[in-house]
Amino acid sequence: MADDGGGLNRERILAKAREKGMAVSDSMSDADVWLLIFAPGFSTAAVVTDVSGRGVGMDVVKRNIEGIGGRVEIASRQGQGSTITIRLPLTLAILDGLSIAVGEQTYIMPLGFIIESLQPRAEDIKEISGQGRVLHVRGEYLPVIALHQLFNIQPAVSSPEQGILVLLEAEGRKVALFVDELVGQHQVVIKSLESNYRKVPGVSGATIMGDGRVALILDVAALVKLAQQ
């Protein structure tokens, strides 16, 4: 989170800290000075207004973040603004997703990108020379992305009318993702794939399913770009 306001005032923070009896010195680094604002009851606001001096306190924010294993960092330049970075353990990230099957593989699709899913009729699928297939749905023509082709795996079904098309929207673009079948809706804990293995195009992470199998979480925006390429 960043702003382009006045930034933190080092002198005012140090003065307020001395007023509260805190052990500070002029030789403290900026990073240490910024951390002073997390002290309980610390505020440089001269008066309480509708927009200042009414918060729950930065100490509460910091305590709650650290309570779940995270940390908060501040970078500020007077007259130019401040940047507050909150880092949370990736294992705490919970995703609402739809599990889909392609061949013997299971993938997780974030629900936020899904418009709907359908089983198309053969006449709704058109082949465009040199550009692949498109789906005609409610007056729109959406490019069909075959997930098994992107990941080079053997599907259970080879034609869209035998499988399921999941309509997705990412970065203002709509596409139809061709998969074998829908499995179910889940809340999953996201695990970093990059830190445990390596970055995989089209995949944002992984999760462990109830039966112990690993399922990859799809990066919808990246899939759309891959399909365009």
Determine the Cα angle at 106 with ends 179 and 174, to 5°: 40
- Alpha-carbon distance 95 to 97, whole Å? 6
Domains of the chain, each with CATH number or no CATH: 10-88 (3.30.565.10), 92-228 (2.40.50.180)
Share of the chain above pLDDT 70, in %: 91
3-state helix, strand, coil in the chain (%, to 5): 25, 40, 35
Phi-psi region of 59 (alpha: psi -120 to 50; beta: other; left: phi over 0): alpha
The identity of residue 147, as a single letter, is L
User: Rounded to 5 degrees, what are φ and ψ at 199?
Assistant: -75, 130
Q: Residue 143 above 70 pLDDT?
A: yes
Q: Hey, what's the torsion of the CAs at 13, 16, 20, 25, to 10 degrees?
A: 50
Q: What is the pTM of this model?
A: 0.59
Instruction: Quick: pLDDT tens for 171-229.
Output: 788 999 999 999 999 888 888 877 778 888 889 888 988 888 899 999 988 888 776 66
Q: Residue 41 above 70 pLDDT?
A: yes
Instruction: Quick: pLDDT tens for 73-112.
Output: 888 888 888 898 888 776 667 889 999 999 999 999 999 8
